[in-house]
Amino acid sequence: MPAAADRDQRRAVLDVRGLSAGWGPMRVIHDLDLAVFSGERIGLVGLNGHGKSTLFQAIAGLTGWQRGSIKINGFEVGRIRSQGPGRYTHQIVHRGLALIPQGDEIFHGLTVEEHLDSGAFTRRAWAERGERKRRILRIFPPLEQLMKTAVGRLSGGERRMVAIGRGLMADADLFLVDEPSLGLAPKIGKSVVEALMAVDLGASAMVIAEQNVALLQGRVDRIIGMHAGKLKGEASASSRNFSAERAR
Amino acid sequence: MNWSFVVSNAITLACIYGTLAIGISVTWSSLGLVNMAYGFIFALSGYGAWLASVNISANPAIVMAAGVLTGAVGGLFVCLVAFIPIHDKPNFPLRALIATLAISLVGNQALLWYFGPRAKSLPRLFGNWNADILGVIVTSDKLGASVSAIVLLTAILLWIRSSRRGLEIRAMMMNPHAASLVGIGVRRTGFYVMALTGSLAGLAAVLLAQTYYVAPFSGITPMIKGLSIALVGGLGSVPGAIIGAVMLGVNEALTSTLLGGQYVLITQFLLIILVLLVRPRGIAGLLDKAREA
């Protein structure tokens, strides 16, 4: 585990400063700072309704309104925006974001294979999609037999695998995984989280939002708590409680 | 009672209306836009084909290409005016409905002003001969219209099924929110979709002008038929639209032979109401095996 100073010298994949976001008159995120460095795997824990999903959606430009600075790979994607959620999302995604949303946003009529293809949007990812699909199948072997099946006919766990696989197809530098175990049987949820831990991040980073701290404890580089729209813990790489705990 | 006449009419109408219905259906499900200007694009491409036949050449391929191209340009125009500026504003479906309706009204008046009220007729694209298929006598224009509609539709549907842009369009049709998450640009896809559906309207215009005429308001009735077929098939479903087109084509041919042409719209809407009473999601509700998320 690198020390905090060490980490500061590494490349910040995501740098959020003074972010507020919400829906209509509601303010869900309050002046939040967050830095994510390359190669990190971060757990974001917190109860329902405290803004985990809204934070991810704000980074993807999907909230009703937002203000503050969001930098992905040093490129500013946060803007003051009062309407049109999703207007710039595809550009943000092209900057290197892969958001794996809560409750699998899937294309119910596409087959698993087409689904994985749809995740490979950059030219290089599209050219290498065969190899990448094989890599996804090594992570999620059960999908092998389902490649030609419409996703709408799959079970919840299989859908979640497809949604995560779709995110992994991209050339992303930042993976945001929203509640990977939500709504799944404990055993299946655990295997999905395990698969996420097995992903070789390389220079990219991953943030996993999860309510079940036990699933993440000791397996991620840091754990950040989220409460009432604010972050607690090692949000901007200052305190080192969790990493010290992990070292033990 | 001439059954061969009924059958050949039904198939021809099904092909032409099906083309329109697929255009309307695809626009609605991928962009969330009910394109009320579809009738205008239809009439416009009829005039495009007519201008080409007068000024360039009466070669069937050129006339048809001119109609299809004018349709695509018309679709892009509607996209620029009624989709790009307002697609991320609140209440987009309603605004788009009004905007496209306005384009349709203004556009039809502009056509009337520029080309005058007199109907134009296109040259006969498919010659003047009869074919005998399994004892059914089919005139050349009907055969040509059906075959070219089926060929072009099949080509477009295959393109949507196999190409990368087609994958993007289908993804948009199923879940626009998730589509933006995988990096599909709504605006860019909007251009593809509108050009594609516009060219479908152009094709239908050229084919229907073989039996009718090109007139400033000739697009209204085909658009109503296309929209109702899209409804009966289940908005957003291509197979549903095809089955709906066959159903309404048969109904139209039967009604005009048995009762008379003036009753066509009455029986047609009775049929639509019946179908929607039984299957509220249209015919697609029967076909769709995948669970919706």
**Distance (Å, rounded) from C-alpha B80 to C-alpha B64?**
24
Q: In this structure, are residues A38 and A205 in contact, taking their beta carbons and an 8 Å threshold?
A: yes
Sequence-distant (≥ 6) Cβ neighbours of residue A89 within 8 angstroms = A60, A61, A62, B180, B181
Q: What is the pLDDT of residues B162-218, one digit of tens each?
A: 888 888 888 888 888 788 888 888 888 889 899 999 999 999 999 888 877 888 888
Given an 8 Å threshold on Cβ–Cβ distance, is B182 in contact with A121?
Answer: yes
- Give the pLDDT of residue B289: 56
In a domain, B63, yes or no: yes
Q: Say what the alpha-carbon torsion angle B16, B17, B20, B25 is, to the nearest 10 degrees.
A: -140
Question: Which of B160, B170, B182, B291 is most worth mutating to test chain A (most A CB atoms within 10 A of its CB)?
Answer: B182
**Distance (Å, rounded) from C-alpha B197 to C-alpha B204?**
11
In a domain, B110, yes or no: yes
Question: Which of A81, A102, A108 is most worth mutating to test chain B (most B CB atoms within 10 A of its CB)?
Answer: A108
Q: Which residues of B touch A109 (CB under 8 A)?
A: 170, 174, 288, 290
pTM of this structure:
0.80
pLDDT class of B291 with cuts at 50, 70, 90: very low
pLDDT class of A240 with cuts at 50, 70, 90: very low
Q: In this structure, are residues B197 and B35 in contact, taking their beta carbons and an 8 Å threshold?
A: yes
In a domain, B292, yes or no: no
Sequence-distant (≥ 6) Cβ neighbours of residue B82 within 8 angstroms = B33, B37, B96, B99, B100, B103
Q: Calculate mean pLDDT across residues A196-221.
A: 82
**Distance (Å, rounded) from C-alpha B280 to C-alpha B282?**
5
pLDDT class of A222 with cuts at 50, 70, 90: confident
Has residue A80 got a pLDDT over 70?
Answer: no
- Give the pLDDT of residue A235: 52
Closest in B175, B183, B186 to A93, CB measured: B183
Task: Using CA coordinates, name the residue in chain B closest to A166.
Answer: B182
Given an 8 Å threshold on Cβ–Cβ distance, is A108 in contact with B177?
Answer: no
Q: β-strand B136-139 against B130-133: which pairing, if any?
A: antiparallel
- Residue with more model confidence, A207 or A188: A207
- Give the pLDDT of residue B267: 92
Q: Calculate mean pLDDT across residues A39-62.
A: 84
Q: Which residues of A touch B90 (CB under 8 A)?
A: 83
Given an 8 Å threshold on Cβ–Cβ distance, is B180 in contact with A114?
Answer: no
- Give the pLDDT of residue B287: 66
Domain count, chain B: 1
**Distance (Å, rounded) from C-alpha B41 to C-alpha A13?**
48
**Residue holding tokens 């957003």?**
B236
In a domain, B201, yes or no: yes
B107/chain A closest Cα distance in angstroms: 29
B176/chain A closest Cα distance in angstroms: 9
Share of chain B above pLDDT 70, in %: 97
Say yes or no: B86 contacts chain A, CB-CB below 8 A.
Answer: no
Q: What is the pLDDT of residues A108-156, one digit of tens each?
A: 778 888 888 888 877 777 888 888 888 888 888 888 888 888 888 888 7
In a domain, B293, yes or no: no
Given an 8 Å threshold on Cβ–Cβ distance, is B171 in contact with A87?
Answer: no
- Give the pLDDT of residue B4: 77
**Residue holding tokens 């992994």?**
A168
Residue B281's domain spans which residues? 3-287
Given an 8 Å threshold on Cβ–Cβ distance, is B180 in contact with A90?
Answer: yes
Sign of CA dihedral A48, A87, B161, B48: positive
In a domain, B72, yes or no: yes
- Residue with more model confidence, A80 or B166: B166
Residue B150: exposure state from Cβ atoms within 10 A (0-12, 13-18, ≥19)? middle
CATH code for position B170: 1.10.3470
**Residue A123, helix vs strand vs coil:** helix
pLDDT class of A6 with cuts at 50, 70, 90: low
